[in-house]
Every structure is written in C-alpha cells, then in structure tokens.
C-alpha cells in the first residue's frame, strides 16, 4: 500500500514537472516569436503571440488543480511538499513571463511604420539572454538542482547591464532623432519587459533553490518585478 502511494505521488510530481516544462516551452516560443514580429515587422505574427497566450493560461490552471489535489490526497511533507508548492508558484511566474511576451507583441503594430529605426536590432540578443535564463531556471527545477538555480541568479546581473546599455542607447538615439520619440518609447517598453522576464527567471531559480534545500537563497541586490507590471 505504501509502495503504491509512493508511486502514485511520483507519477503526480512527474505530471506537474511535465506541465511546468510545457508552459516554459510555450513561454520561450512566445518571447522568440514576439521578437521576430518586432524585427520584421509582422503584425499578424504579433497577433498570433497574443492569441497563443491563452494556452499558457490554461496549463497554469491545470497545474493549480493538480497541485491542490496532490496536497489534499497525498499529504506530502518536507521536500515533497516544498516541490509541490514550488511548482504552484513557478506556474504563476511562467504565466507572467508569457504575459510579458504578449505585451511585447502588443507593441508591434504601434512601432510598425515606414521608417524602421536602427536600435530595434539591439533587442534580440537581450531577448535570447532572458529566454536562456528562463530555460535554465526550469531545467534546474526539473533536475532539483540548487547549484544550477544559483547560476541563473548570478546571470541576472549581466542581463541588467545589457538593459542599462540598451536604455542609454535608446535615449541617446531619441535625443539625436526627435522624430523617433514615439517608436523609441515603445522600444524602451520592450526592453523593460525583457529585463522583467529575467527578474522572473531569477524568482523561479530562488523557488527551486528553496524547494531543493529548505533554505532561502542569500539576498541579492536587484530590482525585482512588482505588482504594477503592465498586463
């Protein structure tokens, strides 16, 4: 009976991990497609990114239901309980990352114009860095690897530096080319959303670390995402 219960719990945890991984893959795709839509520009692709966000939301709801069921039926304790709670929280964070990609896609029709400005070419590298952080954080969750989680947190400083550099470049470009103020303002919004994706990846990494070790990761000096983030 005990063996059966353990196997059932392991199967439930495996299902949770699978759904989190699926959400992460969809979120990564959304970031990449949103940036493609921005570069081309492609309003139709941007609209697809916005529509596809519903799939991420749906999986998050499934994760919530499964996590509640596991807690109610399996009564997990210690590391097992921490992993279930971490999965529940991580699903909410990944859903938010999908929202950031959707927000970027919303800007595409606003930036689309006859004259495309040069700084757009700076953003894809930042997007890849942010997306890599998301993937690494979710890989750490799947592997229950606190060391990998710490590496994600440590990489956030590089993304913040990238954001600061792009911010300065965009502001300088706007000052030198006043007619581009509207487009640059939208690009600043895009860059900020990418920086917040990195913040959320580090939030996931911190949850992974706690789930694996039972201790909080040491405080770090960074600007976290807030409840005032645009949806």
Supply the DSSP symbol for 215: S
Considering the chain, what is the average pLDDT of its residues?
89
CB 84 within 8 A of CB 16: yes
Closest alpha carbon to 115 in 177, 171, 176: 177
Q: Does an H or E element contain 51, and which? A: helix 43-74
Closest alpha carbon to 193 in 116, 131, 135: 131
Which pairs with CB-CB distance under 8 Å and at least 24 residues apart come from 3-10? Answer: 5/74, 8/74, 9/70, 9/74, 9/76, 9/80
Q: Cα-Cα-Cα-Cα dihedral of 209, 215, 218, 222, to 10°?
A: 50
Helices (H), 112-180: 123-143, 146-176
Distances, alpha carbon 24 to alpha carbons 96, 132, 152, 173, in Å: 11, 11, 15, 34
For the stretch 104-128, pLDDT in tens is 999 998 886 556 677 788 899 999 9
Percent of the residues in the chain that have a pLDDT greater than 70, as a whole number: 90
Q: Cα-Cα-Cα-Cα dihedral of 121, 124, 127, 131, to 10°?
A: -170
For the stretch 196-215, pLDDT in tens is 999 999 999 999 999 999 99
Top-confidence residue, 220 or 48: 48
First-to-last CA distance in the chain? 47
For the stretch 55-103, pLDDT in tens is 999 999 999 999 999 999 888 888 889 999 999 999 999 999 999 999 9
CA 38 and chain centroid, separation: 18
Place of tokens 């947190």: 153
């Amino acid at each position: 009976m005990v063996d059966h219960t353990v196997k059932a719990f392991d199967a439930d945890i495996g299902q949770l991990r699978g759904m989190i991984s699926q959400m992460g893959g969809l979120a990564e795709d959304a970031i990449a497609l949103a940036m493609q839509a921005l570069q081309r520009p492609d309003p139709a692709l941007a609209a697809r990114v916005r529509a596809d966000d519903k799939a991420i939301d749906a999986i998050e709801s499934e994760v919530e239901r499964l996590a509640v069921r596991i807690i109610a039926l399996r009564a997990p304790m210690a590391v097992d309980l921490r992993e279930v709670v971490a999965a529940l929280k991580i699903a909410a964070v990944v859903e938010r990352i999908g929202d950031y990609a959707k927000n970027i896609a919303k800007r595409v029709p606003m930036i689309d114009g006859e004259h495309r400005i040069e700084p757009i070419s700076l953003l894809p590298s930042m997007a890849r860095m942010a997306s890599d952080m998301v993937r690494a954080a979710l890989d750490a969750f799947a592997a229950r690897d606190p060391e990998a989680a710490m590496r994600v947190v440590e990489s956030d400083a590089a993304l913040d530096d990238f954001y600061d550099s792009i911010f300065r470049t965009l502001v300088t470009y706007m000052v030198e080319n006043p007619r581009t103020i509207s487009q640059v303002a939208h690009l600043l919004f895009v860059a900020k959303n990418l920086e917040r994706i990195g913040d959320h990846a580090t939030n996931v990494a911190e949850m992974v670390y706690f789930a694996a070790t039972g201790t909080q990761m040491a405080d770090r000096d960074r600007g976290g995402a807030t409840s005032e983030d645009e949806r």
